[in-house]
Structure 1
Amino acid sequence: MIQNLYKDSLLFPDRNLSIHRSMSGSAKKPRTDNMSVRKIGTHNGTFHCDEVLACFFLRQLPEYKNAEIVRTRDPAKLAECDIVVDVGGKFDPKTHRYDHHQRTFSESYHSLCPEKPWVTKLSSAGLVYLHFGRRLLSQLTQLKEDDQQLEVLYDKEVDAVDNGISQSEGEARYSVSTTLSSRVGYLNPRWNSKSQDTEEGFKKALALVGEEFLDRLDFYKSSWLPARAVVQEAVKQRHKVDPSGEVMMFSQGGCPWKEHLFALEKELQVETPIKFILYPDQNGHWRIQCVPAGLNTFQNRVSLLEEWRGIRDEALSELSGIKECIFVHAAGFIGGNKTQEGALEMARRTLQAFAQCTAANGKS
């Protein structure tokens, strides 16, 4: 099954994943001038998303696409490798050593590239991405290295998880056990398994992180980046939708707008934040969606009226005085109307009530 997975996989062009098993007792001979196969070194034993992703990144580059992955902690064997990640106790780009476990290591994207704002301490995957990222993306997307689109960065979650950085202060209200890091971890042998061999799991992990990274990269290139122009035009046209400038409209649903909207509001110096997004759904009806207060929060800048929440259809139309209502979610973040005019009126009524409430609170 594993052989078939790699035979047909586009993630590994050489179609053969060469893994050196340091525990086998048969160390390979040092590479001679007649041997062109390069070596990527990383640690053996339990593997994590960090070094697996770093190895995948490197194998997408022409010089490492056929590289042998040497999994060992033996300094002599690591010294034979062309590049070493997540082991060895050394960070030195000049000699291609990318470990982050040493006590003195505290590098972040910002410390190594001051023009970048990210301050999370980097893992080996982050270090490899920082030094090879532009070439990696150029290789995979066929875009030129100086193309602005190559500024799209992969999710920094891998760095935070591997360096033990919590997502929240204190105890989290719930845990997510299906993250990429978690799914890679599940491929390690269970504590009570008869075999503690990690090599087959490492191969599966390479395929897993590779498929997920390429899928996300394709999304960013083919969907997320083109959406920016759509969102930018909608921001510019918002006063034609409603004079307040607080309602934005798309002619088609499904556009990934949130990240672009927050960025464009800053770039275009939008003084009054946009509160609602209108767009048609797959049934030809219209949705009204609240703009969240931030990218990682369920709080809205303005939520739909509390008395509408959880009410549907004719009952909602009678309550609101707006024809053709379909629903308002119980959490107040989204609603629906059969017509564009009806959805817009839902936004206007909510904005009016919000303005009145704000004015009343200001007087008290």
Structure 2
Amino acid sequence: MSNTNTIKIGTHNGHFHCDEIFACFLLKNLPRYADAEIIRTRDPKLLAECDTVVDVGGIFNAEQKRFDHHQKTFTDTFHSLRPEKPWTIKLSSAGLIYVHFGQEILKELLKKEAMDDSVRDHLSKILFDKLYENFVQEIDAIDNGVDIGENMKYRISTNLSARAGYFNPAWNDPNPTEKEETGFKQAMELIGKEFLDRFHDYIHRWWPARSLLEQAIAKRFDIDSSGSILVLDQPLPWREHLFDIEQEEKEKLGDKIKYVLYPDSNKTWRIQAVPLNNKSFENRLSLPKQWQGLRDDELSTRSGIPGCIFVHASGFIGGNATYDGVLTMARRSLELEHTKE
């Protein structure tokens, strides 16, 4: 029998899904829910006794802490609840909990990391968007039957929602109720670990790249008077950070940065064109057409730049044996573009 003073999270019993499991996991990362008891039932009387109810009950009312999305009248998306956000897929119970509690949960998780409070607050806002777009949104879409695209040639059967579903008892399981409770907990461990793995990857691998990119941006006029060329001391995930920083500093940066230079694992150098946006295959300024698809001596001769290794056929990336060589490729590309004008 449960303690009457224990916080209770209610969700439905029977066949479970990724969205309500993840919703419960998220809530239990808040101190006030850490010791909460999860009540799995469809009995309205038992649900009425729960402090918070997810994915059952036919009500969405954040003030009453009721977060169901199955009612016909429910059409909410991240964008409809937070108009400044772009995502328009209908929310599941996972998305509902994330929209209302996600940033608070991320701040709690970040308390375990060594960083200044100002950095922690800034990072929680950035991760709030990034984790919705790259983790939670998929759960919302699958639970609501939203296909990833039109005319699909095959379906992905190994996504997180599918793997969580495998913990449900089989149709012919002799003890389905017992297996259901065990499976729910196992699925929560799976989903929780995957979420935390993604969270830690972002803060320990992805986020540290931002400060290095900011340093490169600050030094860009030391590299070239145009301010259009960035130089990194090592390969790192710069694309998303660059667009985020440009968005934050629109008036100062605009879209003037055209090329990023960095050393590769072979101790040669790469030049990469900045795309129009984070998902685009078009570039702000591709490497010159007359270089595209050429390699080695032929490229060096055509460009007049010693040490050239290659330029991709689409002009988005190229290589040179030395830093001076790759910098010259970037500067020559800018000059050729100005000549066209």
User: One fold, TM greater than 0.5?
Assistant: yes
- The 5 A counterparts of 1:195-206 are 198-206=180-188
Q: Which structure 2 residues correspond to residues 26-65 of structure 1 after superposition, within 5 A?
A: 29=1, 31-33=2-4, 36-65=5-34
Deviation at 1:111, TM superposition (A): 3.8
Name 1:234's counterpart in structure 2. 216
**TM-score, normalised to structure 2's length?**
0.80
Distance 1:93 1:222, change over 3 A: same
Pair 1:281–1:193, CA change in 2 (3 A): farther
Aligned ranges 1:58-207 → 2 under 5 Å: 58-114=27-83, 116=85, 118-142=87-111, 147-151=121-125, 152-153=127-128, 154-156=131-133, 157=137, 158-168=139-149, 170-171=150-151, 177-185=157-165, 187-188=167-168, 198-207=180-189
Structure 2 CA distance, aligned partners of 1:175 and 1:352? 47
The Cα of 1:278 is off from its aligned counterpart by 0.6
- 3-state SS of paired residue (2:70): coil
Q: Counterpart in 2 of 1:265?
A: 246
Separation of aligned partners in 2, 1:133 and 1:82? 18
User: Which of 259, 276, 281 lines up with 1:293 in the alignment?
Assistant: 276
**Residue-by-residue CA offset, 1:295-339 (whole Å, 9 max, x unaligned):** 223332233344544544344334433222233334432222221
Q: Structure 1's 214 and 300: CA in aligned 2 closer, same or farther, altered over 3 A? A: same
1:46–1:188 Cα contact (<8 Å) kept = yes
Q: Choose 224-233 or 100-109, whichever is displaced more.
A: 224-233
Query: Is it true that 1:217 corresponds to 2:194 in the alignment?
Result: no
**Aligned partners of 1:334 and 1:209: how far apart in 2?**
37
Query: What runs of 5+ residues in structure 2 fail to find an aligned partner?
Result: none
Change (3 A) 1:176 1:314: farther
1:133 counterpart SS class: helix
Q: Secondary structure at the match of 1:148?
A: helix
Q: Secondary structure at the match of 1:103?
A: coil
Query: Considering only aligned residues, what root-mean-square deviation do their CA atoms show, in Å?
Result: 3.2
Q: Secondary structure at the match of 1:326?
A: strand
Structure 1 pair 45/233, CA: closer, same or farther in 2 (3 Å)? same
Q: Does 1:346 align with 2:338?
A: no
In the aligned structure 2, how far is the partner of 1:46 from the partner of 1:134?
A: 29
SS at match of 1:84: strand
In the alignment, the residues of structure 1 paired with residue 280 and residue 162 of structure 2 have an alpha-carbon distance, to the nearest angstrom, of 23
Cα 1:343–1:49 change in 2 (3 A) is farther
How far did 1:98 drift?
Answer: 0.9
Q: 1:265·1:273 contact (CA, 8 Å) conserved in 2?
A: no
TM-aligned CA distance change 1:323 to 1:106, over 3 Å: same
Distance apart, 1:184 and its partner CA? 3.2
TM-score by length of 1: 0.75
| Deviation (angstroms), 1:97 | 1.3
Q: 1:8 maps to what in 2?
A: none
Conserved 8 A contact 2:110-2:124: no
- Residue aligned with 1:301, SS: coil
- Separation in 2, partners of 1:229, 1:350: 27
Counterpart Cα distance in 1 of 2:174 and 2:308:
61
CA gap 1:150/1:272 in 2 versus in 1, 3 angstroms: closer
Report SS of the residue matched to 1:277: strand
Mean Cα deviation higher: 106-115 or 75-84? 106-115
Matched positions, count? 325
Query: Residues 52, 32 of structure 1: CA spacing in aligned structure 2 closer, same or farther, 3 A cutoff?
Result: closer
Q: Which runs of 5+ in 1 are unaligned?
A: 1-28, 360-364
Secondary structure of 2:309's counterpart equals: strand
Measured against aligned partners, the alpha-carbon deviations of 1:60-97 in whole angstroms (never above 9, x if no partner) come to: 22333333333333333333433211111111223321
